[in-house]
Amino acid sequence: MAATLIDGRAIAAQIQRELTARVAQLKQHGVTPGLAFVRVGEDPASKVYVGRKEKACAELGIVSETHFLPEATSEAELLALLAKLNSASHLHGILVQAPLPKQIRESVIYSSVLPQKDVDGFHPVNIGKLMLGDVTGFHPCTPAGVMELLVRSGVKTEGAEVVVLGRGNIVGKPMAAMLCQKGRAANATVTICHSATRDIKAHCLRADILIAAMGVAEFVKADMVKPGAVVIDVGVNRISDPAAKNGSRLVGDVDFAAVEKVAGKITPNPGGVGPMTIAMLLQNTVRAAEKSLN
């Protein structure tokens, strides 16, 4: 029997409907949420991602502006732009689209965005608050989206064995931190697996909830999944496919066709985690605007 699909598009739409009322209330107080996107270079995927985020902002009533800088931009030039955006009172959020050119250190850039405008959740202050269980900070959008998928799909995390594949700063580490906190949709026992983990398959087979965020195309096979487990696929990988229009196609970190026959619930890819990442960005921006009233 095929697994039940966790529909990220439907859940994201539900969240955006909830945010519509909050945006309307902000406007009654004379505040329109504002979000700045910063894109450096000509990375094709970045163009697509920023375009989707701009469209979502427009649909919700968030005013967005995009700042494009050429590939050769220096770190100092980018920092100068961020200083201006930090001081702009009409902007409540700033998102610097990754990846950045090699001459720019991501850690420096993320630390330069004011914590109260860091709607990506990457500033050390917000990461620190996440680790401490302080809910006043902003959580990184993708793991926050996964949490909402679990909550709104009725997945019980308390006491569950969760395996997170990947230890990246954007998904893996914050995902594990969220799930092991005391509180709503957490209280799980979390294992992080990575490239140096011995016998990853054995770890995966223990998981009640398996979250794949390794960046390896279709890594998770059916024989790595416990029957009835919840499988969340965060991966985005491009593989060659002569039958596809452009000679390639996007796949996740999970071999979906095989795993859906074993899992109890599973996210499709696309249509699972991706829409939730944007929904959480919108939610963080609305929260930032609400905080500006205090």
Order of strands across the sheet that contains 63-69: 63-69, 34-40, 93-96
- Residue 97 appears among annotated catalytic residues: yes
Q: Is 53 a catalytic residue?
A: yes
Reported as a pLDDT band with limits 50, 70 and 90, residue 163 is: very high
Distance CA 278, CA 280 (A): 5
pLDDT digit string, tens, across residues 112-139: 999 999 999 999 999 999 999 999 999 9
- Each residue of 32-59: pLDDT tens digit? 999 999 999 998 889 999 999 999 999 9
**Degrees to nearest 5, angle at CA 70 with 116 and 66:** 40
Closest listed residue to residue 8, CA positions, set 276, 282, 285: 276
The strand pair at 237-240 and 248-251 is best described as antiparallel
**Cα(85)–Cα(105) distance, integer angstroms:** 19
Give the pLDDT of residue 11: 98
The predicted model gives 80-93 an average pLDDT of: 98
Dihedral sign from CA coordinates of 87, 34, 8, 208? positive
User: Is 120 annotated as catalytic?
Assistant: yes
* pLDDT higher than threshold 90 for residue 79: yes
Whether residue 15 is predicted with pLDDT greater than 90 in this model: the reply is: yes
Which residue segments constitute the domains of the chain, with CATH numbers given?
32-114 (3.40.50.10860), 141-274 (3.40.50.720)
Q: What's the mean per-residue pLDDT of the chain?
A: 96
Q: Is the pLDDT of residue 1 over 80?
A: no
Strands (E), 53-208: 63-69, 93-96, 161-165, 189-193
Residue listed under structure tokens 């957490």 = 186
Task: Report the SS3 class of residue 40.
Answer: strand
Which residue out of 120, 208, 233, 253 is catalytically annotated? Answer: 120
- Residue 247: per-residue pLDDT: 87
**Per-residue model confidence (pLDDT) at position 242:** 87
CA 158, CA 187: separation in Å to the nearest integer? 5
- Write the pLDDT tens digit of every residue in 177-225: 999 999 878 999 999 999 999 999 999 999 999 999 999 999 999 999 9
